Structure 1
Amino acid sequence: MNPETIKRSEQKKPCINCGAELTYKPGSSEVSCEYCGYEETIEETSTFEELELYPYLEKMGSQSHTQEISMLHCKSCGANQHIEENYKSLHCVYCSQPLIIEDAHNEEWILPGAVLPFQLDQQKSYQVFKKWVNGLWFAPNNLKKAALDPQRTKGLYVPYWTFDAQLYARYRGEQGTYYYETEHYTTTENGKSVSKTRQVRKTRWRSASGNVNGFVDDTLISASKQRNNQIPEKIAHWNLKALVPFNSKYLAGYITEKYTLPLTDGHRKSKNEAERIATRWAKQDIGGDTQRVHQIDVQLSEETFKHILLPVFISSYQYNGQSYKFFINGQTGAISGKRPYSFWKIFFAVLLGLLIIALIVVFSKN
Structure 2
Amino acid sequence: MEQKTQQTELKKPCINCGAELKYQPGTTNISCEYCGHKEIISIDENGFKELELYPYLKEMGAQKHSEEISMLHCKNCGANQHIEENYKSLHCVYCSMPLILEDAYKEDWILPGAVLPFQIDKKKSFQIFKRWVSSLWFAPNKLKKAALDPQFTKGLYLPYWTFDAQLKASYSGQRGEYYYETKRVRNSQGKTVTKRVRKTRWYPASGNISGFVDDTLVEASKQRKGRVPSKIARWNLKLLQPFSSSFLRGFVTEKYTIPLIQGHLSAKGEAERIAKRWCRQDIGGDTQRVTSMNMKLSQETFKHILLPVYISAYRYNGKEYNFFINGENGTISGSRPYSAWKIFFAILFGLIVLGLIIFFAQG
In structure 2, give the amino acid aligned to 1:242.
Answer: L
Q: Does residue 280 in structure 1 map to residue 284 in structure 2?
A: no
Alignment of 1:226-241 (within 5 A): 226-228=223-225, 230-241=227-238
Q: Which of 287, 301, 304 matches 2:301?
A: 304
Identity of aligned residues (%): 62
In structure 1, give the amino acid aligned to 2:180.
Answer: Y
In structure 2, give the amino acid aligned to 1:42.
Answer: I
Compared CA separation, residues 76 and 321, structure 1 to 2 (3 A): closer
Give how far 1:146 is off. 4.7
Give 3-state SS (helix, strand or coil) of 1:147's partner.
Answer: helix
Compared CA separation, residues 163 and 79, structure 1 to 2 (3 A): same
The TM-score normalised by the length of structure 2 is 0.90
Q: Is the 8 A contact 1:123 1:150 kept in 2?
A: no
Give 3-state SS (helix, strand or coil) of 1:55's partner.
Answer: helix
Compared CA separation, residues 279 and 351, structure 1 to 2 (3 A): farther
Give deviations 1:199-239, integer Å, cap 9, x for gaps. 12111111111111000000000000132354211011101
For the residues of structure 2 that align with 1:322 and 1:146, how far apart are their CA atoms?
17
Give the structure 2 partner of residue 183 of structure 1: 183
Give the structure 2 partner of residue 263 of structure 1: 260
Give 3-state SS (helix, strand or coil) of 2:128's partner.
Answer: helix
For the residues of structure 2 that align with 1:156 and 1:243, how far apart are their CA atoms?
16
Give how far 1:197 is off. 1.4
Q: Which structure 1 residue ranges, 5 or more long, are not aligned?
A: none
For the residues of structure 1 that align with 2:86 and 2:195, how far apart are their CA atoms?
72
Give how far 1:276 is off. 0.3
For the residues of structure 1 that align with 2:74 and 2:143, how far apart are their CA atoms?
30
In structure 1, give the amino acid aligned to 2:11.
Answer: K
Give deviations 1:39-87, integer Å, cap 9, x for gaps. 0000011211100001222255374511111111222222211123345
Q: Is the 8 A contact 1:60 1:110 kept in 2?
A: no
Give the structure 2 partner of residue 174 of structure 1: 174
Compared CA separation, residues 66 and 140, structure 1 to 2 (3 A): closer
Give the structure 1 partner of residue 162 of structure 2: 162
The alignment covers a number of residue pairs equal to 354
Compared CA separation, residues 121 and 79, structure 1 to 2 (3 A): same
Give deviations 1:288-308, integer Å, cap 9, x for gaps. 111111111110000000000
Q: Is the 8 A contact 2:30 2:246 kept in 1?
A: yes
In structure 2, give the amino acid aligned to 1:90.
Answer: L
Q: Is the 8 A contact 2:173 2:206 kept in 1?
A: yes
Deviates further, 272-281 or 200-209 = 200-209
For the residues of structure 2 that align with 1:168 and 1:256, how far apart are their CA atoms?
36
Give the structure 1 partner of residue 51 of structure 2: 51
Compared CA separation, residues 248 and 340, structure 1 to 2 (3 A): same
Q: Which structure 2 residue ranges, 5 or more long, are not aligned?
A: none
Q: Is the 8 A contact 1:165 1:302 kept in 2?
A: yes
Q: Is the 8 A contact 2:11 2:85 kept in 1?
A: yes
Give how far 1:122 is off. 1.1
Q: Is the 8 A contact 2:133 2:144 kept in 1?
A: no
For the residues of structure 2 that align with 1:140 and 1:85, how far apart are their CA atoms?
34
Q: Is the 8 A contact 2:95 2:320 kept in 1?
A: no
Give 3-state SS (helix, strand or coil) of 1:35's partner.
Answer: coil
Give the structure 2 partner of residue 247 of structure 1: 244
Give how far 1:348 is off. 3.7
Compared CA separation, residues 106 and 188, structure 1 to 2 (3 A): closer
Q: Does residue 211 in structure 1 map to residue 205 in structure 2?
A: no
In structure 2, give the amino acid aligned to 1:323.
Answer: E
Give how far 1:142 is off. 2.8
Compared CA separation, residues 91 and 283, structure 1 to 2 (3 A): same
For the residues of structure 1 that align with 2:179 and 2:118, how far apart are their CA atoms?
53
Q: Does residue 11 in structure 1 map to residue 7 in structure 2?
A: no
Give the structure 1 partner of residue 94 of structure 2: 94
In structure 1, give the amino acid aligned to 2:328.
Answer: Q
Compared CA separation, residues 41 and 291, structure 1 to 2 (3 A): same
Q: Is the 8 A contact 1:147 1:319 kept in 2?
A: no
Give the structure 2 partner of residue 289 of structure 1: 286
Give the structure 1 partner of residue 139 of structure 2: 140
Give how far 1:111 is off. 0.6
Q: Which of 158, 174, 197 matches 1:200?
A: 197
Give how far 1:322 is off. 3.3
